[in-house]
Amino acid sequence: MVSKNSCVAGPACEAEASQAGLKSWLKLLIGFALVWVCIFVFGSLSRYIPGADHMAEVIDERGLRATAIYYTDLEETYEGSEYIRHALESAPNED
């Protein structure tokens, strides 16, 4: 069974392939444009989030890498993990 969109050879086939190629490039360009909008438009709007200025100051003061997931060399991290550990150990058992 031959599909509806198949062509054997000739100018019609080349035109279809050319259109498909252009659609792919157009989709790629639209994707890049959307990524650009997300980074530069929505990202610049983030400065209006309450508390963002204070968070930026703390990051700058302490020399933190804001993209790091977990810090093991900070006192706050140690204190936080010890607090959680202590809270879990002293929690009443409900057996």
Residue 30's pLDDT band (cuts 50, 70, 90)? very high
For the cut 70, the answer to whether the pLDDT of residue 78 exceeds it is: yes
Residue 1's pLDDT band (cuts 50, 70, 90)? very low
Give me the amino acid identity at 61: E
Whole-model pTM over 0.95: no
Dmax (CA) for the chain in angstroms is 79
**Distance between CA atoms of 7 and 2, rounded to whole angstroms?**
9
Dihedral sign, Cα of residue 67, residue 68, residue 71, residue 73: negative
For the cut 80, the answer to whether the pLDDT of residue 48 exceeds it is: yes
**Distance between CA atoms of 45 and 34, rounded to whole angstroms?**
16
pLDDT of residue 12: 62
For the cut 80, the answer to whether the pLDDT of residue 16 exceeds it is: no
Q: Which is nearest to 73 in space by CA: 55, 81, 52, 58?
A: 81
